[in-house]
């Protein structure tokens, strides 16, 4: 009888201990979920703040490098996962042909120096396209600002960069097409149309030195800034390209945004 009572008491203690353990684990799980939600909200706010102050592509790189927990894992883990991943993920041996970065079709805009844009949509091979309600025609998606590239935007408000008359280097600097035209016209007047054309392009350099763009790893590194420069197209040297670029981080490759084409003749 005594042994039976002891066994019953022991069973009750075990059940009570199991119950308390489950309650404690449930509380810990709730606390972990709460912390995870708070962390996710903080990371989301951080990403939104980065997107507000810089190009979305740059913001994604900065976020992944500095704040994303997955991106902060040791590189050895990514190298280990790379080999087995190649055996379970299909790798294509052929790729759809797309226009090169220096061509007039990939991320370029064929516009006059003013707001007039070429009406012939076949002059660009950019894909997909969006309808410009200012030009009443389809343009490649790269011919719109990031805000106007969204597919579900109110159609009546979508205007191409040519109609807007300017392009945004960052949140702080806006470059008007008239500024580029004035730069080239001034150079022609000073050189009487016979100077070094490359010198004209090199002398155009617009940078933004806002503190939000200074994201160096260490103070010993030289800061880099978003900048806009002029160059000529490889296929047709008569076309001037406005190139926007920024090297935001020492461990990232130089990120060069797609050049916007300013169709401005060199001669004449």
Query: From CA 37, how far away is CA 41, in angstroms rounded?
Result: 6
How far, rounded to the nearest angstrom, does the alpha carbon of residue 80 sit from its chain's CA centroid?
28
pLDDT, one tens digit per residue, over 80-117 is 655 555 555 555 554 444 444 333 333 333 333 333 33
Could you tell me the two tokens for 208? 């933004």
pLDDT, one tens digit per residue, over 179-210 is 888 888 888 888 776 777 888 888 899 999 98
Q: What is the pLDDT of residue 89?
A: 55
Q: What is the pLDDT of residue 60?
A: 80
DSSP-assigned beta bridge partners for residue 262: 111, 240
Inter-axis angle of helices 56-66 and 2-53, to 10 degrees? 140
Q: Is 79 helix (H, G, I), strand (E, B) or coil?
A: helix
Tell how many helices (H) and how many strands (E) occur in the chain. 6, 9
Closest by alpha carbon to 113, among 161, 148, 155?
Answer: 161
Q: Is 261 exposed, middle or buried (CB count within 10 Å of its CB: 0-12, 13-18, 19+)?
A: buried
Computed over every residue of the chain, the mean pLDDT equals: 71
Largest CA distance in the chain: 117
Give all strands (DSSP E) within the chain, no chain letters: 129-132, 137-140, 166-168, 174-176, 205-207, 227-232, 240-246, 255-256, 260-262
CA dihedral (224, 105, 61, 92) positive or negative? negative
Parts of the chain with a pLDDT under 50: 94-126, 250-259, 261-263, 265, 267-268
């Amino acid at each position: 009888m005594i042994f039976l009572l002891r066994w019953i008491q022991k069973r009750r203690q075990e059940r009570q201990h199991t119950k308390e353990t489950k309650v404690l684990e449930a509380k810990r799980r709730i606390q972990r979920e709460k912390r995870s939600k708070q962390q996710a909200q903080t990371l989301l706010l951080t990403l939104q703040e980065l997107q507000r102050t810089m190009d979305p592509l740059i913001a994604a790189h900065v976020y992944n490098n500095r704040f994303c927990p997955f991106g902060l894992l040791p590189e050895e883990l990514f190298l280990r996962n790379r080999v087995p991943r190649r055996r379970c993920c299909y790798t294509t041996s052929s790729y759809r042909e797309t226009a090169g970065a220096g061509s007039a079709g990939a991320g370029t805009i064929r516009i006059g120096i003013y707001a007039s844009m070429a009406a012939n949509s076949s002059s660009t091979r950019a894909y997909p396209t969006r309808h410009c309600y200012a030009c009443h025609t389809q343009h490649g998606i790269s011919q719109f600002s990031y805000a106007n590239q969204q597919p579900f935007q109110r159609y009546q408000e979508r205007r191409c960069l040519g109609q807007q008359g300017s392009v945004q280097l960052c949140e702080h600097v806006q470059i008007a097409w008239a500024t580029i035209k004035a730069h080239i016209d001034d150079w022609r007047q000073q050189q009487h149309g016979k100077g070094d054309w490359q010198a004209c392009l090199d002398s155009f350099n617009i940078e933004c030195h806002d503190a939000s763009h200074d994201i160096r790893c260490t103070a010993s590194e030289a800061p880099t800034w978003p900048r806009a420069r002029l160059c000529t197209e490889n296929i047709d040297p008569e076309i001037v390209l406005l190139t926007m670029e920024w090297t935001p981080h020492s461990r990232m490759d130089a990120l060069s945004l797609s050049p916007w084409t300013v169709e401005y003749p060199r001669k004449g």
